[in-house]
């Protein structure tokens, strides 16, 4: 092995180039030890970096004449493994990004608000959507505007009803890939996202991010009318209705209106008679979970909470 082909062994694994120059020594020594399969050669590159190379179609004759003119691509083994789940990657950088889904780390901070992200691309999207006044992409149906073309594409599916992401185990389909990923967790039961503080596990990356805020005390969603702040955007949206007085959710049976979708859901049970919350010690059931909690005090022999039923 000449000087050119031996210097690679002195390079750190993470700094090795993705492409190795092929010299005459490799042509005469390495190729002869390669494994020929379907007219393709798997060439071990142990002398350079210990990783097999996929040399592709290479004629059995005249190898030495071509070795100084061609390059061999490394077949990057997915050797970087996550210790929390079965994720594997050929890139150490990708593993670092993936690990943040478990730790909740968000090193990319917005310099205009308190938003932070695990990946720079997410921060870039946030800045475009929240802090960039120019929003050139507009929906022709409802006038919605955005700074991101991909966001408009997803938005348009609300009007078209297109749901390109389909579950291969049931008839579920969705407009968002993230929704499909969350749905599939119902079939597998897998909960790959884990809190490093308390061991809480979830199938949803977004739920872990929200959970982490319980430990950090972070409340990134702030009301611009008062000092209210919240962990979740949905909580802020409900709070804002107190300032506007808007009650967008209406019962089709009696005209009852509310600012909270969940309140309408509970209200509708008065009409349907549905009582989804059941006592596991007797046949009592209720439309609200809080009613079952109060009822359970009877079984515990507690007088602190009195069942009103």
| pLDDT 10s digits, 171-202 | 999 988 888 888 888 888 888 888 888 989 88
**pLDDT attached to residue 80:** 83
Based on its alpha-carbon atoms, the radius of gyration of the chain, rounded to whole angstroms, reads 29
Helix or strand run (H / E) with residue 117: strand 116-117
Q: Under CATH, what is the fold of the domain 88-216?
A: Double Stranded RNA Binding Domain (3.30.160)
Q: Are 41 and 73 in contact (CB under 8 A)?
A: no
CA–chain centroid gap for 9, Å, is 37
CATH 3.30.70.600 is the classification of domain 221-272: no
Report the b/e string of 124-163 with b at 16+ CB within 10 A.
ebbbeeeeeeeeeeeeeeeebebbbeebbeebbeeeeeee
Residues in the chain: 309
Q: Which run of H or of E encompasses 36?
A: strand 35-37
User: Which part of the chain has CATH 3.30.160.60?
Assistant: 88-216, 221-272
For residues 126 and 134, give the distance between their C-alpha atoms in angstroms, rounded to a whole number: 13
Buried b (16+ CB within 10 A) or exposed e, 5-26: beebeeeeeeebeeebebbebb
Chain-centre distance for alpha carbon 39: 41
* Per-position pLDDT tens, the chain of length 309: 444 444 444 444 444 444 444 443 444 344 444 433 333 334 444 444 444 444 444 444 444 444 443 444 444 456 788 888 888 888 888 888 888 888 888 899 998 888 888 888 888 888 877 887 788 888 998 888 888 888 889 899 989 989 999 999 899 999 888 888 888 888 888 888 888 889 898 888 788 888 998 899 889 889 989 999 998 888 898 898 889 888 888 998 899 998 888 889 999 999 999 999 998 889 999 998 889 888 888 887 654 444 445
Question: Which two tokens mark 141?
Answer: 């149906």
In contact, 161 and 150? CB cutoff 8 Å:
no
- Rounded to whole angstroms, the Cα distance separating 132 from 124 reads 10
DSSP structural state of residue 82:
-
Say what the pLDDT of residue 301 is. Answer: 66
pLDDT score, position 266:
92
pTM of the model: 0.38
Burial of residue 44 (CB within 10 Å: 0-12, 13-18, 19+) is middle
Position 229 scores a pLDDT of 92
């Amino acid at each position: 092995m000449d000087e050119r082909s031996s210097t690679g062994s002195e390079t750190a694994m993470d700094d090795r180039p993705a492409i190795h120059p092929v010299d005459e020594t490799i042509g005469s020594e390495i190729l002869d030890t390669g494994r020929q399969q379907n007219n393709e050669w798997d060439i071990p590159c142990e002398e350079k970096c210990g990783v097999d190379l996929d040399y592709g179609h290479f004629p059995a004759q005249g190898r030495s004449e071509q070795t100084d003119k061609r390059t061999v691509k490394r077949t990057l083994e997915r050797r970087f493994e996550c210790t929390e789940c079965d994720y594997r990657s050929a890139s150490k950088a990708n593993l670092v990004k993936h690990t943040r889904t478990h730790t909740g780390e968000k090193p990319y901070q917005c310099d205009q608000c308190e938003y932070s992200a695990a990946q720079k691309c997410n921060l870039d999207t946030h800045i475009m959507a929240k802090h960039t006044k120019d929003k050139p992409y507009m929906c022709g149906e409802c006038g919605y505007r955005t700074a991101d073309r991909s966001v408009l594409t997803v938005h348009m599916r609300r009007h078209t009803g297109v749901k390109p992401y389909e579950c291969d185990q049931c008839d579920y389909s969705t407009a968002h890939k993230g929704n499909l990923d969350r749905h599939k967790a119902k079939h597998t039961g897998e909960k790959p996202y884990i809190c490093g503080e308390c061991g809480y596990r979830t199938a949803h990356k977004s739920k872990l991010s929200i959970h982490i805020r319980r430990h950090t005390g972070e409340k990134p969603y702030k009301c611009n009318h008062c000092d209210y702040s919240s962990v979740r955007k949905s909580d802020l949206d409900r709070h804002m209705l107190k300032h506007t007085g808007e009650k967008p959710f209406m019962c089709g049976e009696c005209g009852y209106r509310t600012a909270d979708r969940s309140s309408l859901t509970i209200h509708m049970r008065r009409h349907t008679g549905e009582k989804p919350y059941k006592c596991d010690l007797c046949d009592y059931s209720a439309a609200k979970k809080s009613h079952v909690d109060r009822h359970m005090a009877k079984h515990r022999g507690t007088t602190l909470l009195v069942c009103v039923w």
